[in-house]
């Protein structure tokens, strides 16, 4: 009887001390001895993912431009990837720092690890990675129930959008303008291209090697896209294209804008951006 009791106690002790571990988007195993209680987010999309995962109350520091949800605006900022206050970050004594895999300098990540800070690299490049990011971050924060429910809602809405905008028509060719001076776009590795594909479109520069390459106006004219999309509140940034009357997107008035934060941040609101984008491409297709 005593032996059985000792074995049971050993099993319970082992379970209590078991590590919490997940794999981040950089392919590294991120392990914690207990759920994170002091989290710093170094990217706006990561802040949104953490709140969606039910871990908002554990966030003690954020990067600049972490402005959603409203509660994120009340959290202390530690700067941005170009001017990060590392001393202030370390003073917050985080047990987990969530960084943007591409956006945050590799040197910064190594500095954090050299200071014995646990780092989760976040860089979702498709919808499933967004959903799994919610559950993985929830696991690290000990909010699994909230995270699993949020991920389930995300996947259900995604399937609704896929069903609503599934089409057998030829893809609408799209130029996505990130910036106009210099002229920049995104390739197929970015979440924006995933949204374009879901909506029945095709990114004219999807095959370029760089994730955010510079292109020329001549290259856009040669590709002659059916629609031109940009991030923002309005199409003002696309006004320069109107001088090219022969351009198909201009001729048909297929110049559209989708809120930047919805599309350019690989967080839960990517579905808001996708829905808005799908409506624009459906309009272009129907015309």
Q: Taking residues 87-97, report their average pLDDT.
A: 95
Confidence band (pLDDT; 50, 70, 90) for 7? Answer: very low
Q: Is the pLDDT score of 6 beyond 70?
A: no
Superfamily per CATH, domain 18-155: Nitrogenase molybdenum iron protein domain (3.40.50.1980)
Choose between 3 and 240: higher pLDDT. Answer: 240
β-pair partners for 20:
32
Confidence band (pLDDT; 50, 70, 90) for 101? Answer: confident
d(CA 25, CA 35) in angstroms, rounded, equals 19
d(CA 80, CA 103) in angstroms, rounded, equals 10
pLDDT tens, position by position, 112-151: 999 999 999 999 989 999 999 999 999 999 999 999 999 9
User: Is 261:269 a contact under the CB 8 Å cutoff?
Assistant: yes
Q: Is the pLDDT score of 270 beyond 60?
A: yes
Looking at the chain, which residues constitute the CATH 3.40.50.1980 domain(s)? Answer: 18-155, 167-286
Among left, alpha and beta (phi > 0; psi -120 to 50; other), residue 44 is alpha
Q: From 227, 214, 210, 223, select the one nearest 282 (Cα to Cα).
A: 227
> Which ranges of the chain would DSSP assign to H, the alpha helix?
2-17, 44-52, 86-91, 106-114, 127-141, 144-165, 191-198, 217-223, 248-251, 260-264, 270-286
Q: Fold for domain 167-286?
A: Rossmann fold (3.40.50)
């Amino acid at each position: 009887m005593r032996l059985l009791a000792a074995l049971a106690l050993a099993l319970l002790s082992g379970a209590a001390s078991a590590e919490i571990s997940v794999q981040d988007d950089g392919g590294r195993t991120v392990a914690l001895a207990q759920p994170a209680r002091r989290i710093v987010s170094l990217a706006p999309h990561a802040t949104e993912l953490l709140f969606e995962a039910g871990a908002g109350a554990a966030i003690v520091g954020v990067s600049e431009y972490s402005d959603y949800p409203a509660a994120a605006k009340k959290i202390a900022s530690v700067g941005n990837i170009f001017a990060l206050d590392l001393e202030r970050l370390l003073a917050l004594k985080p047990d987990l720092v969530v960084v943007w895999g591409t956006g945050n300098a590799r040197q910064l990540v190594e500095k954090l690890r050299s200071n014995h800070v646990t780092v989760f690299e976040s860089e979702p490049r498709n919808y499933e990675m967004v959903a799994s990011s919610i559950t993985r971050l929830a696991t690290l924060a000990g909010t699994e129930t909230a995270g699993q429910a949020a991920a389930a809602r995300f996947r259900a809405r995604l399937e609704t959008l896929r069903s609503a905008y599934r089409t057998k028509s030829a893809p609408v060719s799209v130029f996505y303008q990130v910036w106009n001076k210099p002229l920049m776009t995104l390739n197929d590795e970015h979440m924006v291209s995933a949204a374009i594909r879901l909506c029945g479109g095709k990114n004219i520069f999807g095959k370029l090697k760089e994730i955010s390459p510079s292109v020329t106006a001549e290259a856009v004219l040669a590709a002659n896209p059916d629609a031109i999309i940009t991030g923002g509140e309005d199409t003002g940034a696309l006004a320069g294209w109107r001088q090219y009357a022969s351009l198909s997107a201009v001729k048909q008035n297929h110049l559209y804008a989708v809120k930047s934060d919805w599309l350019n941040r690989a967080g839960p609101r990517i579905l808001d951006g996708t829905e808005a984008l799908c409506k624009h491409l459906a309009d272009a297709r129907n015309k």
